[in-house]
Amino acid sequence: MSSNPFLSKEVKLKRVRKGFVIALPVVIMIFVIGNHYINLIDDTLRNHYVGENQNQDNPVEEVEENKVLGEFSFPSDSLFYADEYIDTRIDERDGYDKFIRHIDEPSYYFKDGEVVTLKDSWLLKNGYELNLVCGEVDLKKRTDPADFLTCEIYYNGNLVVDNVYYNAYCSDIENFQDCFGKVSFAVFSYVYPPSSPEFLVTSYRPTGFDSSISIFNLENGKANRLSFETKEGKVYEDVYTRVFTIELYEEQDPDNTSFQREVNTIELVTFEFAPGYDGFGGRYHVWEIEDDHFVESKSITVIDPEN
């Protein structure tokens, strides 16, 4: 009677190897097929029960860049005629970085209904000081927020401008509580390198909304006013913009490994708006620095697609 070799106490190594060779592919195949069907069932159940709600709770927001409307144009004699037309307002600009605002329209809290005299100071590049001096204000008499005030700004001890827009009032004009103030000016400055340009931008608002801005290059303790030359060749000491909607940009230079910032790489972008005109979302003016003044290089009109 022959004996079963697999029931024998003596198991030969060759037979064990043969068993593994036969069994291993079968085990792998079972694992792969089983894992595939488990994932398939899991995905099906997830899409059925949570898929739709998940998409609603976490919608994907698509951010579109400014589109240049190449075929669109206003007549050359139109109020909204420009060199370029886009469908959204400008924030970031390709090839440019925003110049850092070291001081940006400082605001202050005041005690309820007090008489305030606002003064402040900042230390700027190379140890020069900027001083803000605003006249005495009785907050109990400030019942109309549109009735604006003005301040003076000094740089290195010298008066730079005496009509900077300033507003101080109490939001609760009955009890004269929640009182605060805001001054409309900014200083654009980089800490490094020390030789990089520094600019003071001030705003004067004769109507309370639209600004007349002036720009000064702060250099070697002196504030040099930069005038504005339009495309028509007219020169002004200040330029109109909506409220305080301005931005300074620095041209990117990937080859500038020493990070040297030059005045001629700076561009100013101002914004003006004329409400009440359907389809008009405002207009930008781009200014470049040439020979110690700004020269208008481009105008860009925003076409509001919703109007």
pLDDT in tens, 258-299: 455 677 778 999 988 766 566 677 888 999 998 889 999 999
Task: Say if CB 268 and CB 284 are below 8 A apart.
Answer: no
Handedness of CA 136, 138, 141, 146 (dihedral sign): positive
Tokens of 130: 């900027």
Domain boundaries, the chain: 5-45, 67-100+193-198+210-307, 106-183
Q: What pLDDT sits at residue 117?
A: 92
Residue 44 has pLDDT above 50, yes or no: no
Q: What is the pLDDT of residues 176-226, one digit of tens each?
A: 889 999 999 999 998 877 778 999 999 998 765 678 899 999 999 999 999
Which uninterrupted H or E stretch holds 277?
none
- Report the pLDDT averaged over residues 137-147: 83
Range in 35-44, 53-62, 196-205, 217-226 the model is least confident about: 53-62
pLDDT at 69: 54
Residues in the chain: 307
Q: Is the pTM of this model over 0.75?
A: no
Between the CA atoms of 252, 253, 254 and 255, what dihedral angle is there, to the nearest 10 degrees? -170
- Give the pLDDT confidence score for residue 293 in this predicted structure: 93
The least confident of 28-42, 52-66, 102-116, 191-205 is: 52-66
Stretch 116-125: mean pLDDT, rounded? 95
Q: How confident is the model at residue 261, as a pLDDT?
A: 66
Per-residue pLDDT at 129: 97
Residue given tokens 């000081």 in the structure block: 129
